[in-house]
Amino acid sequence: MFSDQTTMEPVFTIPYPEFVVADRLRNAFPRKHGYGVFIPASRQQEGFDLMLAKTSGPATRCVTIQVKASRMYPADPQKSGRFAYNFWFKRFKPHPSTQLFVFVCPIPHEPKSARARAPSVWKPVLVCLTQPEMDQLLRNARTKTGENDTHFSFGVGTATEVFLTRGSPDAEGVDHSRHLLEGRVQMITKLFE
C-alpha cells in the first residue's frame, strides 16, 4: 500500500500574507529567547492561521493569530486627501479562541533614492488587534443609517500612518497607527505571562 521510495519532493507553501506576518514575528520574537512561529498543517484549521509559542523550562505557552489580507486600492486624492491607499476587509465573525488579528496592507516600497534597490516591491503594513479590540471595531462598524456595515477599511498614508476609514463612527477616521505590529511587541510579550 505505501512505498518506502519517495518519487516527489514534498513542499509546503503558505500564502504570502501569512508568510509576511510569520517572518515579522520571527524577527521580533527570536528563537534564542524561546519563541517559535508555527503554522497548521491543515489549511482549513479553525481559529488561527499562525501560532506564536514561547518555551520556558518545561512549559510552552501559545498565542493564536488570524491573518487577514486585502489588495491595495489607490485612494482618490479628491476624496481622501491624507491616504494614498485603501484596504477593504469583509466583516467576519472572530473565532473565540483567536487572540490576535493581523491585517496585512501591502503598500508599494519606495526606495529613499533612485539608486537604492528595494528588497521587495511591497512594504506590508501590519495592523495588529487583540480579540477585544476586534470585537469593538466590528461593533462600531456601522453604515450612516446605523446598520451593521458589511465591510470596514483602513486608509494608509505612509508605513506608519493607518486610519480606520469605512466602519468608523468618526467621519475623519480612527487612528490605528498605535496598532502597527512593530509597536505591539511589548503587548504581545505580556500575553505569555
The C-alpha atoms of residue 125 and residue 119 are separated, in whole angstroms, by 15
Long-range contacts of 170-174 (CB under 8 A, 24+ apart): none
Amino acid 188: pLDDT: 96
Residue range(s) defining the domain that contains residue 87: 16-190
Q: pLDDT (tens digit, 9 = 90+) per residue, 87-97?
A: 999 999 999 99
Amino acid 44: pLDDT: 79
181 close to 128: Cβ distance less than 8 angstroms = yes
Residue 7 lies in a domain: no
CB-based contacts of 180, cutoff 8 Å, min separation 6:
125, 126, 127, 128, 160, 162
Amino acid 8: pLDDT: 55
What is the pLDDT averaged over residues 21-41?
A: 94
Q: pLDDT (tens digit, 9 = 90+) per residue, 51-67?
A: 999 998 898 999 999 99
What is the pLDDT averaged over residues 172-190?
A: 92
Residue 74 lies in a domain: yes
Residue 116 lies in a domain: yes
Residue 3 lies in a domain: no
**Domains identified in the chain, total number:** 1
Q: pLDDT (tens digit, 9 = 90+) per residue, 108-165?
A: 876 565 555 656 677 899 999 999 999 999 998 888 788 888 999 998 988 888 989 8
Q: b/e for 129-139, b at 16 or more Cβ within 10 A?
A: bbbeebeebbe
Residue 9 lies in a domain: no
Residue 4 lies in a domain: no
Residue 71 lies in a domain: yes
The C-alpha atoms of residue 177 and residue 159 are separated, in whole angstroms, by 9
Amino acid 63: pLDDT: 96
Residue 175 lies in a domain: yes
Its pTM stands at 0.86
